[in-house]
Structure 1
Amino acid sequence: MLSERIEILKEADVINEKTSLYVLSVIEQLEDEFNEKEQILEMFTTHLAMCVQRVLNHEEVEKLDDSLWKQVEESSGYEEANKLLQKLLINAPCEIPESEKRFLLMHLCNLYQ
């Protein structure tokens, strides 16, 4: 299901091949651990795909609201989520800006809840 969603985005030319391959590799890494939280994982991987494509396209990146970010930082899964994000971004096809990392961390924290 997760892979199919990424394939749909690629076929619709919303994301390119490079982004698709990267996100599919992330899905492979996360699917087993978070298989019971597929809906949250789907939100994360979709956001990751769109994030990477925005960066590759040099598009404007939104900023996460400061009060929401504070909640993310205070969440019980923040440390684990941050470690996982750093690991996942090692093979990213581009440098992810801090503002996008915050959105990604928000989704990952939800996986650890």
Structure 2
Amino acid sequence: MVQVQERLKILLEANVITKEASKIAAEAADRLGAQAPQAPLDMLITHLATALTRLERGEELEAPPESMFKEVQQSVYLQNAMEEIRWVENRLGSILPEKEQKFLQLHYVSNFQQMGGRSL
């Protein structure tokens, strides 16, 4: 988790993400635990922190291409991903826009696939 903390610190110091986004992203990384592979975890946490920052700043994001998303919709890990997204929403106190949810689903599913399932 040291790499996650370092990544978030760099993004925060560069004003790419907000303090609250950094905090929630770090907590989300902790929820996945040490068994999460570093590269997909880094992508997930970076996207999550920037997504939360976009919400705070009122910025929007383009949705992922549907062709990319079809595989995620078929994944056995989609429900696990949705549970984590709901946790983020509960922690944040608001519902994430659908476009942000889709990107997070991609990242979470990728992490769960590489971890071999959910072990939270």
Answer whether contact 1:3 1:27 (CA < 8 A) is retained. no
In structure 1, stretches of 5+ residues that fail to align are none
Structure 2 CA distance for aligned equivalents of residues 78 and 22 of structure 1: 21
Work out whether 1:9 is the aligned partner of 2:38: no
* C-alpha distance after superposition, 1:9-35 (max 9, x if no partner): 00111112111121122222223342x
Residue identity in the other structure for 1:40:
P
Q: Percent identity?
A: 29
Residue identity in the other structure for 2:5:
S
In structure 2, stretches of 5+ residues that fail to align are 114-120
* C-alpha distance after superposition, 1:20-63 (max 9, x if no partner): 121122222223342xx111011000000010111111112211
Instruction: After TM superposition, list the pairs within 5 Å mapping 1:65-84 onto structure 2.
Output: 65-84=65-84
CA-atom RMSD, angstroms? 1.5
Work out whether 1:22 is the aligned partner of 2:24: yes
Structure 2 CA distance for aligned equivalents of residues 48 and 17 of structure 1: 13
Residue identity in the other structure for 1:85:
I
1:57 alignment counterpart: 57
Structure 1 CA distance for aligned equivalents of residues 34 and 92 of structure 2: 20
2:105 alignment counterpart: 105
Structure 2 CA distance for aligned equivalents of residues 86 and 93 of structure 1: 10
